[in-house]
């Protein structure tokens, strides 16, 4: 009975797409501030109009549905606009990490077949080298557009056409057409590729819209938030927040470079209400001099991902008056797709217990179908006992379409109908998942598994430790043993033996680091510690007597 005469028509079925968010912001709140950058103030009508110009100008350059447009931009207005203008032209936005080397960029531009590249002048030199490799090795010569922005305004010669020229050539009345199919690709994001070539993660309009709305729900984000761009937009499209901010007709407070003084100034000046960042940025704010923090408004909401926030960070944020939400995800799930939802009852607990509860990766994001710890062999859920290890798996609309031109990796990632995160975890009786380790980071010592995260958690409790990372080092007797890399707080003085002694108080003997190396810990542009670098170093480290 319900199978007939009730079909999808253009009247009752329209593709889900974040493009519709900016359309509505411009219609309903045309005069509301959309972008702040230095002295620039741009409202939603202006921003929408510039995005339409961008889309029409791209089409005029021959960019068609399914073409890739690559951008190498900091968190500046062109980056916000690219998140709408590129998909409005039907194209796929490939945001490149601004810290990449020329060879990596060339690899991505070739693999993603970028037809056009928009590059900030700051990165013109490295992009120039990449384009040379691209031309020589692959015979590709994409159109190049240069985005100029203070203080990088001197011509670099990489292109004769600037981003503003491109915008000026576009039609502000360009007719926006949503994709016919919401499964259409919207973004291409390369994973950091710590092993092998980077993989190109492809997002759909449906998924992008779904995660952008989930961000609102997770944060109870009311209309007109003032969002500070501490998190790079090249990183999982800034966790889909360019679209979230448009859906809420909020303000994008741009930020070229992460710097504590600038961040506190912007928070005060624009009344920032929300920001996201890797742990390192939160630590930077917490450890900033007291005078920098004066008069910072209370109640700023912060999201952290990349590593569980240690107790010191939770306390630090509390003393700043900021509210911290711990989320978890990967490039393959559009950034965060799980959240450690806090409960009122937790507030009365002591800080160590609060930190323990908050350190968990939590439950599925609002509009994600499921996140669970499954046995990767049997695909059966592990018991919710907080002890049995398995792998975190996701399922739902907040999971990538797949890896570009890599059906083998895509099939492996989706084996058994779940996305395999590669993170080893347990699930607690309350359904919250907690990462024990990346499967490749686990240390196997004398047949026993050692969670590098468990050891790191202990090290972070030491008052002198700013950052800590533990990896496996080869051991003739045990196969592997833990090796700790530690970055100390300014002026802190600790010996290797102090760290070992401290660890022994909190860890089983076989989990205690057998070597401690002090120095700056290498991090990715998104603040993630580069364990693969450390593993290389650990290969030649000598264990201490214990």
Site string for a copy of itself, 361-380 (x = CB under 8 A): --xx-xx-x-----------
Which residue lies nearer to a copy of itself by CB, 10 or 490? 10
Contact (CB, 8 A) for 371 and 363: yes
* 431 is an interface residue for a copy of itself by CB under 8 A: yes
Smallest distance from a copy of itself to CB 465, Å: 33
* 429 is an interface residue for a copy of itself by CB under 8 A: no
Contact (CB, 8 A) for 488 and 519: no
- 193: closest CA among 520, 469, 524? 524
Residue with tokens 């214990």: 546
Q: Which of these ranges, 403-411, 447-455, 457-465, 501-509, lies near a copy of itself under the rule CB under 8 A? A: 403-411
Q: Which residues pair with 364 in a beta bridge?
A: 338
Q: Which CB contacts under 8 angstroms, 24+ apart, belong to 105-108?
A: 105/72, 105/130, 106/130, 106/131, 106/133, 106/134, 106/137, 106/138, 107/197, 107/198, 108/70, 108/190, 108/198, 108/200
* 40 is an interface residue for a copy of itself by CB under 8 A: no
Which residue lies nearer to a copy of itself by CB, 384 or 510? 384
Smallest distance from a copy of itself to CB 28, Å: 5
Residues near 245 by beta carbon (within 8 Å), at least 6 away in sequence: 225, 227, 251, 252
Distance CA 131, CA 140 (A): 8
Q: Which of these ranges, 6-14, 167-175, 291-299, 525-533, lies near a copy of itself under the rule CB under 8 A? A: 6-14
Distance CA 423, CA 327 (A): 14
Chain center to CA of 86:
20
Smallest distance from a copy of itself to CB 385, Å: 17
* 140 is an interface residue for a copy of itself by CB under 8 A: no
* 166 is an interface residue for a copy of itself by CB under 8 A: no
Distance CA 382, CA 388 (A): 6
Distance CA 270, CA 510 (A): 51
What is each CA distance from 439 to 117, 496, 508, in whole angstroms? Answer: 36, 27, 21
Contact (CB, 8 A) for 392 and 361: yes
Site string for a copy of itself, 473-512 (x = CB under 8 A): ----------------------------------------
- 483: closest CA among 509, 507, 521, 517? 517
Contact (CB, 8 A) for 117 and 127: yes
Site string for a copy of itself, 235-264 (x = CB under 8 A): ------------x-----------------
Q: Which two tokens stand for residue 455?
A: 């050891």
Which class for 62: exposed (0-12), middle (13-18), buried (19 or more C-beta within 10 A)? exposed
Chain center to CA of 468:
20
Which residue lies nearer to a copy of itself by CB, 395 or 523? 395
- 325: closest CA among 306, 336, 341, 343? 341
Q: Which two tokens stand for residue 1?
A: 């009975």
Distance CA 469, CA 534 (A): 8
* 113 is an interface residue for a copy of itself by CB under 8 A: yes
Which residue lies nearer to a copy of itself by CB, 128 or 386? 386
* 406 is an interface residue for a copy of itself by CB under 8 A: yes
Q: Which of these ranges, 2-10, 167-175, 236-244, 520-528, lies near a copy of itself under the rule CB under 8 A? A: 2-10
> How many residues at the interface with a copy of itself, by CB under 8 A?
62
Contact (CB, 8 A) for 328 and 361: yes
Which residue lies nearer to a copy of itself by CB, 199 or 256? 199
Which residue lies nearer to a copy of itself by CB, 13 or 477? 13
Q: Which of these ranges, 125-133, 322-330, 415-423, 506-514, lies near a copy of itself under the rule CB under 8 A? A: 415-423
Site string for a copy of itself, 204-233 (x = CB under 8 A): ---x-----x--xx--x-xx----------
Which residue lies nearer to a copy of itself by CB, 220 or 291? 220
- 104: closest CA among 192, 188, 187? 192
* 198 is an interface residue for a copy of itself by CB under 8 A: no
Report the residue from 190, 239, 418, 485 that binds a copy of itself according to the rule CB under 8 A.
418
Which residue lies nearer to a copy of itself by CB, 383 or 431? 431
Which residue lies nearer to a copy of itself by CB, 402 or 482? 402
* 414 is an interface residue for a copy of itself by CB under 8 A: yes
Which residue lies nearer to a copy of itself by CB, 20 or 526? 20
Smallest distance from a copy of itself to CB 264, Å: 27
Which residue lies nearer to a copy of itself by CB, 220 or 295? 220
Distance CA 321, CA 357 (A): 20
Chain center to CA of 134:
27
Give me the residues that bind a copy of itself (CB under 8 A), please: 1-14, 16, 20, 24, 27-28, 66, 68, 92, 113, 178, 183-185, 202, 207, 213, 216-217, 220, 222-223, 247, 341, 363-364, 366-367, 369, 394-397, 399-407, 410, 413-414, 417-419, 431
């Amino acid at each position: 009975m319900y199978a007939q005469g009730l079909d999808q028509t253009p009247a009752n079925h329209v593709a889900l797409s974040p493009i519709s968010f900016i359309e509505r912001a411009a219609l309903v709140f045309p005069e509301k501030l959309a972008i702040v950058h230095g002295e620039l103030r741009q409202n939603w009508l202006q921003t929408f109009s510039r995005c339409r110009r961008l889309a029409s100008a791209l089409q005029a350059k021959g960019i068609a549905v399914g073409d890739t447009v690559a951008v190498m931009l900091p968190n500046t207005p062109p980056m916000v606009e690219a998140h709408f203008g590129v998909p409005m032209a039907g194209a796929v936005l490939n945001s490149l990490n601004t810290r990449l080397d020329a060879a990596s960029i060339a690899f991505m531009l070739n693999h993603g077949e970028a037809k056009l590249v928009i590059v900030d002048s700051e990165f013109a030199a490295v992009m120039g080298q990449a384009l040379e490799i691209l031309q020589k090795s692959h015979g590709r010569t994409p159109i190049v557009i240069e985005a100029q922005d203070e203080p990088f305004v001197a011509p670099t010669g990489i292109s004769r056409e600037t981003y503003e020229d491109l915008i000026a050539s576009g039609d502000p009345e360009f007719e926006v057409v949503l994709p016919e199919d919401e499964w259409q690709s919207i973004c291409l994001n390369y994973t950091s590729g710590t092993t092998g070539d980077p993989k190109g993660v492809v997002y759909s309009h449906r998924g992008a819209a779904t995660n952008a709305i989930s961000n609102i729900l997770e944060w109870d984000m009311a209309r007109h938030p003032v969002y500070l761009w501490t998190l790079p937009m090249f990183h999982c499209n800034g966790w889909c927040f360019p679209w979230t901010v448009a859906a809420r007709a909020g303000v994008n407070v741009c930020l070229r470079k992460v710097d504590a003084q600038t961040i506190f100034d912007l928070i005060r000046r624009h009344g920032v209400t929300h920001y996201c960042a890797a742990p390192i940025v939160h630590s930077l704010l917490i450890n900033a001099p007291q005078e920098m923090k004066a008069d910072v408004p209370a109640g700023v909401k912060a999201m952290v991902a990349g590593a569980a926030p240690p107790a010191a960070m939770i306390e630090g944020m509390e003393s700043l008056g900021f509210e911290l939400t711990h989320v978890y995800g990967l490039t393959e799930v559009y950034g965060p797709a799980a959240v450690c939802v806090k409960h009122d009852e937790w507030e009365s607990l002591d800080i160590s217990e609060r930190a323990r509860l908050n350190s968990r990766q939590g439950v599925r994001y609002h509009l994600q179908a499921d996140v669970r710890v499954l046995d990767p062999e049997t695909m059966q859920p592990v018991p919710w006992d907080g002890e049995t290890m398995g792998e975190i798996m996701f399922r739902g609309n907040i999971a990538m379409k797949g890896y570009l031109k890599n059906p083998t990796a895509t099939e492996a990632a989706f084996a058994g109908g779940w996305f395999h995160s590669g993170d080893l975890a347990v699930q607690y009786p309350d359904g919250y998942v907690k990462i024990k380790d990346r499967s490749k980071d686990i240390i196997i010592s004398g047949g026993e598994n050692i969670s590098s995260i468990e050891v790191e958690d202990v090290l972070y409790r030491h008052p002198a430790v700013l950052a800590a990372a533990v990896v496996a080092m080869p051991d003739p007797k045990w196969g592997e043993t833990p090796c700790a890399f530690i970055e100390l707080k300014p002026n802190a003085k600790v010996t290797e033996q102090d760290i070992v002694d401290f660890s022994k108080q909190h860890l089983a003997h076989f989990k205690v680091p057998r070597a401690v190396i002090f120095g700056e810990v290498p991090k990715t542009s998104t603040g993630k510690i580069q364990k693969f670098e450390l593993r290389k170093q650990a290969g030649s480290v000598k264990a201490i007597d214990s």
